């Protein structure tokens, strides 16, 4: 059995790292195909090294671009690799253009597709990620749902039970495996002159937030209100996209907000684990905060991770400044006693176990173009 693991963004590398490790543990032949969706592979090479993973087998270096142009470059490159180097299955993870391209290229070639983190829904089709995850779910053969909620979404859309597997979320595996690596070097706290629990951590990068003046300006005003109310340092590692739009919109960042260059994964994970509060629009960070027992305020009106809200680890604020402050106050007083809804940290192992059970019976009958 030979598996192609297709990824293209740093969150995908993080969440696929437990699957890659499980392949190695089970002596399964695999290739890692890096599309280079957000960064060049050369920039991500250190990321593989830090996560103690082998380098990618292939890299496409597609770079940024419009959704159509980027997806087209990925489809062309992935198709050629999968033709030249046959695989018995393809795994994709999440909701990016890489996921859409990988699932579509493999499906067109008759190669079974497994979607890791299947079944997530925000029910907001103005989000490109929602389109990607829906299409990927409906052309994938094996749907590795992280929770019963996600599996229920798939069943309601007519996906057959025989192809749905509840595995837990690989983010739990990744956090538990990688936090121990990150704790080997805790110098980030002294570098930033902050104490554990003495700061608020912020991320904002989603297209629907940073590309809209009213949303981005609302977030910045909300951060100022939180800083004034809490009296603590607010750390904002600013995403290149957000930085560009702040400048383009000629927005003023409040003096009491510390803008940082993007941090390494381990540095960010340490800060996230020890923050008083996290404000974000990232789905993955909602999950990580829930696992780490760090209170989270999501600066969106919806989430494809409703489990985080249901257990009390997250609250939806939108981008209105007063709502951000109000929700921050609520979560600052929330007891950190919620249960982690995303599994026991063995999701990567379950994904590979299911593939080992399924593929020997099915791969011989799958047509190839």
- Catalytic (active-site) positions: 205
Contact present, 265 and 50 (Cβ < 8 Å): yes
Query: What SS3 state is found at 325?
Result: helix
The beta-strand segments (E) located in the chain are 2-7, 29-34, 58-59, 89-93, 113-116, 142-145, 164-166, 199-202, 233-237, 257-260, 277-280, 296-298, 314-316
Contact present, 276 and 232 (Cβ < 8 Å): yes
Closest CA to 196 of 273, 278, 266, 263: 273
d(CA 20, CA 23) in angstroms, rounded, equals: 5
DSSP 195: -
Contact present, 144 and 118 (Cβ < 8 Å): yes
The residues, any chain, with a CB within 8 Å of residue 354's CB and separated by 6 or more, are 142, 144, 165, 167
């Amino acid at each position: 059995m030979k598996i192609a693991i297709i990824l293209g963004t740093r969150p995908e590398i993080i969440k696929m790292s437990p699957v890659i490790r499980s392949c190695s543990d089970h002596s399964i032949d695999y290739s890692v195909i890096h599309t280079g969706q957000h960064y060049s592979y050369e920039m991500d090479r250190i990321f593989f090294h830090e996560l103690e993973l082998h380098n990618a087998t292939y890299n496409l270096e597609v770079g940024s671009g419009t959704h159509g142009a980027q997806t087209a470059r990925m489809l062309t490159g992935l198709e050629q690799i999968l033709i030249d180097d046959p695989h018995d299955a393809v795994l994709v993870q999440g909701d990016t253009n890489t996921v859409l391209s990988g699932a579509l290229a493999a499906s067109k070639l008759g190669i079974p597709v497994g979607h890791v983190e299947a079944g997530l829904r925000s029910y907001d089709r103005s989000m490109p990620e929602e389109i990607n995850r829906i299409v990927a779910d409906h052309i994938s053969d094996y749907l590795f749902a992280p929770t019963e909620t996600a599996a229920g979404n798939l069943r309601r859309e007519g996906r057959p039970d025989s192809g749905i597997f509840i595995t837990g979320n690989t983010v739990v595996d990744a956090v538990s495996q990688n936090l121990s690596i990150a704790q080997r070097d805790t110098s980030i706290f002294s570098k930033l002159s902050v104490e554990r629990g003495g700061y608020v951590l912020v991320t904002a990068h989603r297209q629907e937030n940073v590309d809209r003046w009213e949303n981005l300006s609302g977030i910045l005003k909300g951060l100022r209100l939180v800083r004034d109310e809490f009296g603590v340092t607010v750390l904002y590692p600013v995403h290149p996209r957000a930085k560009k739009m702040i400048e383009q919109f000629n927005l003023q960042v409040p003096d009491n907000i510390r803008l940082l260059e993007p941090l390494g994964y381990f540095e960010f994970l340490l800060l996230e684990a020890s923050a008083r509060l996290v404000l974000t629009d990232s789905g993955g960070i909602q999950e990580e905060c829930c696992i780490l027992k760090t209170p989270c305020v999501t600066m969106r009106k919806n989430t494809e991770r409703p489990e985080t809200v249901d257990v009390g680890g997250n609250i939806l604020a939108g981008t209105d400044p007063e709502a951000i402050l109000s929700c921050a106050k609520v979560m600052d007083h929330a007891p950190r006693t919620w249960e982690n809804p995303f599994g026991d940290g063995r999701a990567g192992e379950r994904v590979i176990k299911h593939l080992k059970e399924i593929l020997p019976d099915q791969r011989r009958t799958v047509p190839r173009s």
